Amino acid sequence: MFLSKIFNRTKAPTSFSSYVSPISTSGEVVTVENSTNLGIVYACINVKASAIAKLPLQVFVKTKDGRTRDHAHRISYLLETRPNPHMSPYMFKFVMMVHRETYGAAFIRMKFNRKGLVESLHLMYPSSVSIIEDIEGKVFYVETMNDNTQQVYSEDEVIFIPAFTTDGYNIKSPITVARETIGIIRSQEKFLGSYYQNGTLARGVIKVPTTLNKEAKEKVREEFQKMNAGMQNASKVAVLDEGFDYQNITIPLGDSEFIASQNFSLRQICRIYGIPPHMVGDLERSTFNNIEQMSMDFVLNTLQPICVSIEEEMDYKIFNKQEQQKGYYVKFNLTSALRADSKSRAEYMQLMIRNGLLTTNEGRKLEDLEPIKDGDRLLISQDLTHLDNLENLQSSKGGE
């Protein structure tokens, strides 16, 4: 193969099947495609992807006084208006996160203009991308197209956002980690489907008073299924001939161990994805107080690390050297995600404005309110002063 003569080894094929056998110990085949058809997996990925997608990703530049937001920068247009002709910023970030949470990594190809500046951002489908190291130790991204041709991109052309990696390149998909749990849930759902398909007729044994040959046994089983199985017979009374006896040998669905097993499997998926159970509709152990705390933990311990990893990768690759030297960087705005209830926000805003940390208009902006006249001046309570002023005041009183 042509590429094998150029490159030394493959560091990270992103196909799910390349990591581990897709067959779980429960016998279920687990793939990215059928895993996202599972309600709890779909819900966890949707919650996480939506949470990142709704956060504004903005461009800033460092100044002597701190920083200022650059609305006119070309990267600001890509991140806040249109990353490419086919996607809105929300959709771009959402699909990026879906790739990260299913295949274990997101790959963003940067398209450059003639001046060498980034003019658009395009998502690469993870299963078609391999990370390759050449004989000189340089890293390249090889994308297999629909016509089986291959495009090779340098490390500077692709923004790489892994979910979990052991060395910076070899990635592990959350689906891989959750494979056994997903297999169990799929088996449980098939069991339930079969249960209701049979009209809640459980698996059992029919005892007959005489010995039957193979054909007679099949006939009895067939007739019994025909008269008692299926939803159309769910509420009907079964009538057995004299001498026949039916014994149920299936664990009832109301059994506490079966229900506990289902709940454990669902919560295990939530743990793997870092999603508080109440965010996917599991309110069994939730209270008003701990829901607020868990929601805050979700932002700080699940979303913020993802934001930092995206910011750092973009800062290094999306700006050229001159822009990096000038202090350009991107930053997710987590203010909306960290908002507490209205009472807590009001108390926080009062403290920030009364202590001169925010102007009235800055506080109104955080609440999406229009600015007011004279609202750009800092306010401070009259009972506050510098410590040295207080010492001078005490000294002057002592000298009187």
Task: Give the pLDDT of residue 323.
Answer: 94
Task: Give the pLDDT of residue 211.
Answer: 73
- Of 246-250, 353-357, 380-384, minimum mean pLDDT range: 246-250
Which 8-state DSSP code applies to residue 157?
G
Burial of 214 (0-12, 13-18, 19+ CB in 10 A): exposed
Burial of 107 (0-12, 13-18, 19+ CB in 10 A): buried
Q: Higher pLDDT residue, 300 or 94?
A: 94
Band of residue 367 on the pLDDT scale cut at 50, 70, 90: confident
Task: Give the pLDDT of residue 124.
Answer: 96
For the stretch 302-334, pLDDT in tens is 999 999 999 999 999 999 999 999 999 999 998
3-state DSSP helix/strand/coil % of the chain, to nearest 5: 45, 20, 35
Strand partners, 152: 142
For the stretch 238-275, pLDDT in tens is 555 656 666 664 555 555 455 556 666 788 888 889 99
Band of residue 157 on the pLDDT scale cut at 50, 70, 90: very high
What does the domain layout of the chain look like in residue ranges? 1-202+253-338, 204-249, 342-400
Tokens (6 digits) for 273: 């994805």
Task: Give the pLDDT of residue 194.
Answer: 61
For the stretch 49-74, pLDDT in tens is 999 999 999 999 998 878 899 999 99
Give the span between the Cα atoms of 264 and 268, in whole angstroms: 6
Longest dimension (CA), the chain: 120
Tell me the Ramachandran region of residue 329: left when phi exceeds 0, alpha when psi lies from -120 to 50, beta otherwise: beta
- Of 34-43, 122-131, 257-266, 373-382, minimum mean pLDDT range: 257-266
| pTM, rounded to two decimals | 0.73
Sequence-ordered list of residues with C-beta below 8 angstroms from that of 195, at least 6 positions apart, any chain = 202, 253
The answer to whether 157 and 119 are in contact (CB under 8 A) is: no
Strand partners, 329: 60
Strand partners, 139: 133
Share of the chain above pLDDT 90, in %: 33
**Range 292-299 average pLDDT:** 83
Tell me the Ramachandran region of residue 117: left when phi exceeds 0, alpha when psi lies from -120 to 50, beta otherwise: beta
Task: Give the pLDDT of residue 179.
Answer: 77
Residues constituting the chain: 400
Calculate the average pLDDT of the chain: 79
Task: Give the pLDDT of residue 286.
Answer: 64
Q: Higher pLDDT residue, 137 or 69?
A: 69
Give the span between the Cα atoms of 220 and 188, in whole angstroms: 29
Give the span between the Cα atoms of 314 and 307, in whole angstroms: 11
The answer to whether 159 and 38 are in contact (CB under 8 A) is: no
The answer to whether 224 and 258 are in contact (CB under 8 A) is: no
Helices (H), 104-233: 174-177, 179-197, 214-228
